[in-house]
């Protein structure tokens, strides 16, 4: 990945982190005077922002197609798929109360925290293993 693309991705991630921080502390039913809320509430603003993202996602996919830069290789596809799955996993954690992380839903079942820690451990293990030169030196 190039430095410029990595910087854009980092900015997108940081902005999303800020959005989660700001909007998570609100109810959503409060009126919003932001133009994108179209005279509605914070929930309307969030709905707009989500749709806005989807529209521009399509535009970028179209530009990639026009440039002949489709994600053709299995590695490109698998990384993109993994990234989407990670975003979906994170989305399931949004607005989850802290006490739910360690709640046992059924005897013998793992908790949400244990599942996330498992994912983090094995992802880090596989990434750092791959980062080592062949032969593990």
**pTM given for the model:** 0.84
If you average pLDDT over every residue of the chain, what do you get?
95
Nearest CA among 91, 94, 78 for reference residue 126: 78
Q: 104-115: b or e for each residue (b if 16 or more CB lie within 10 Å)? A: eeeeeeeeeeee
Nearest CA among 111, 80, 96, 102 for reference residue 5: 80
Beta bridge partners of 31: 41
Q: Determine which of 37-46, 69-78, 85-94, 128-137 has the lowest per-residue pLDDT on average.
A: 128-137
Q: What is the pLDDT of residue 1?
A: 87
Phi, psi of 125 (to 5 degrees): -60, -45
Q: CB-hemisphere CA count at 13 Å for 62?
A: 6
Q: What is the pLDDT of residue 137?
A: 58
Long-range contacts of 95-101 (CB under 8 A, 24+ apart): 95/24
Q: What token pair was written down for 115?
A: 């599942």
Asked if residues 67 and 61 have their Cβ atoms less than 8 Å apart, the reply is: no
Instruction: Over range 21-41, report the average pLDDT.
Output: 96
Residues 6+ apart with CB under 8 A from 119: 89
Within 2-73, where are the H helices? 3-24, 42-66
Q: What token pair was written down for 6?
A: 């990595």
Higher-confidence residue: 134 or 126? Answer: 126
């Amino acid at each position: 990945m190039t430095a410029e693309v990595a910087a854009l991705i980092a900015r997108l991630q940081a902005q999303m982190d800020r959005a989660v921080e700001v909007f998570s502390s609100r109810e959503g039913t409060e009126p919003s005077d932001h133009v994108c809320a179209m005279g509605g509430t914070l929930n309307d603003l969030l709905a707009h922002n989500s749709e806005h993202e989807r529209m521009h996602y399509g535009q970028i996919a179209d530009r990639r197609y026009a440039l002949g830069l489709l994600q053709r290789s299995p590695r490109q596809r698998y990384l993109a798929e993994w990234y989407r799955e990670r975003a979906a996993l994170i989305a399931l954690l949004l607005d989850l109360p802290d006490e739910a992380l360690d709640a046992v839903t059924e005897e013998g079942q793992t908790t949400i925290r244990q599942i996330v820690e498992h994912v983090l451990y094995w992802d880090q293990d596989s990434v750092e293993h791959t980062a080592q030169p062949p032969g593990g030196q």
